[in-house]
């Protein structure tokens, strides 16, 4: 296969079934020019899954000889896992970051690393970071600093997550004015406001199926309430679409 064919197979989610296929693909990729390191990282993770953890790094060094130390193989395999998960669950982010410099991708690895005595932040935290905080203009050092702030917010009081000052009960109607006052009082950043919106959308996505599965539980008096709910969601969708359009135009002009 040509470099372009192997790259296309990787981008579209083609998964090797054998270690021999991994070796063939990496052999082709090492002769390429653009997007080589990211694609190799994906195939290294595929080889890790197929081979198994025990003895993998030694086998990879002997088989590929592309890097000179086991630590690099493990880091690139970690990047491959991140890209693999993005490809499976967040296609837009995957296509975007398949072109991100490999050193910046390595700076994201702490999200997936286990911390002694603490649960690792995990893939969900990584996705939130990429969606709400990531800036393409960041240097590798800036990515490292921002990742550290995201994972260890207690290190910097200014970046500590703001705790809700109002009582929040998911099963009690919320006063919109209090929420607005909270946002203004705490001077939430756009990213923090985005987290509120994201969490609200996840609550909606999780609860809505249980609601719509039982129309018999609602009557005519509930229609205005349902109409208001729909209108708010439609307004939110339009506002988000407008934001996407603005950012897309900015990207197109770059």
Rounded to whole angstroms, how far apart are CA atoms 197 and 232? 13
Contacts of 133 by beta carbon, 8 Å cutoff, 6+ apart: 146, 150, 191
Contacts of 182 by beta carbon, 8 Å cutoff, 6+ apart: 164, 165, 166
Structure token digits, residue 94: 């995957």
**39 and 125 inside one domain:** yes
In the listed set 151, 177, 204, which residue is the last one of a domain according to the structure?
151
**Bridge partners (DSSP) listed for residue 118:** 115
Domain interval for residue 35: 3-151
**134 and 25 inside one domain:** yes
Rounded to whole angstroms, how far apart are CA atoms 110 and 151? 8
Give me the tens of pLDDT residue by residue for the chain, a chain 254 residues long. Answer: 887 888 888 888 888 899 999 999 898 888 876 668 999 999 999 999 999 989 999 999 999 888 888 889 999 999 999 999 999 999 999 999 999 999 999 999 999 886 545 566 889 899 999 998 999 999 999 999 999 888 887 665 444 444 544 455 566 666 677 777 777 777 778 888 888 888 888 888 888 888 888 888 888 888 887 888 888 898 889 889 888 888 888 888 87
Q: Which residues of 190-199 are buried (b: 16+ CB within 10 A; e: fewer)?
A: eebebbeeee
pLDDT, tens digit, for every residue of 85-100?
999 999 999 999 999 9
In the listed set 129, 151, 173, which residue is the last one of a domain according to the structure?
151
For the entire predicted model, the pTM comes to: 0.60
**33 and 141 inside one domain:** yes
User: Max alpha carbon distance in the chain (Å)?
Assistant: 71
Structure token digits, residue 87: 């490809």
């Amino acid at each position: 296969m040509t470099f372009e064919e192997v790259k296309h197979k990787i981008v579209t989610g083609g998964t090797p079934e054998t270690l021999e296929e991994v070796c063939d693909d990496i052999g082709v990729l090492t002769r390429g020019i653009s997007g080589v390191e990211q694609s190799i990282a994906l195939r290294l993770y595929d080889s890790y899954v197929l081979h198994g953890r025990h003895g993998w790094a030694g086998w990879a060094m002997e088989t590929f000889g592309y890097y000179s130390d086991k630590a690099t193989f493990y880091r690139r395999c970690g990047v491959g896992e991140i890209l693999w998960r993005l490809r499976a669950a967040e296609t837009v982010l995957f296509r975007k970051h398949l072109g991100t410099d490999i050193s910046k991708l390595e700076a994201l690895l702490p999200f997936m690393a286990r911390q002694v005595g603490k649960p690792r932040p995990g893939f969900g935290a990584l996705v939130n970071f990429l969606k709400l905080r990531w800036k393409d203009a960041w240097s590798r050092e800036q990515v490292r600093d921002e990742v550290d702030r995201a994972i260890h917010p207690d290190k910097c009081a200014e970046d500590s997550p703001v705790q809700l000052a109002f009582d929040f009960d998911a099963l009690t109607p919320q006063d919109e004015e209090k929420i607005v006052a909270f946002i203004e009082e705490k001077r939430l950043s756009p990213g923090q406001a985005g987290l509120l919106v994201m969490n609200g959308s996840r609550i909606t996505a999780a609860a809505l199926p249980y609601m719509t599965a039982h129309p018999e539980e609602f009557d005519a008096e509930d229609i205005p309430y349902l109409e208001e709910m729909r209108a708010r969601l439609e307004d939110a969708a339009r506002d988000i679409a407008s934001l996407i359009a603005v950012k897309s135009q900015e990207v197109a002009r770059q």
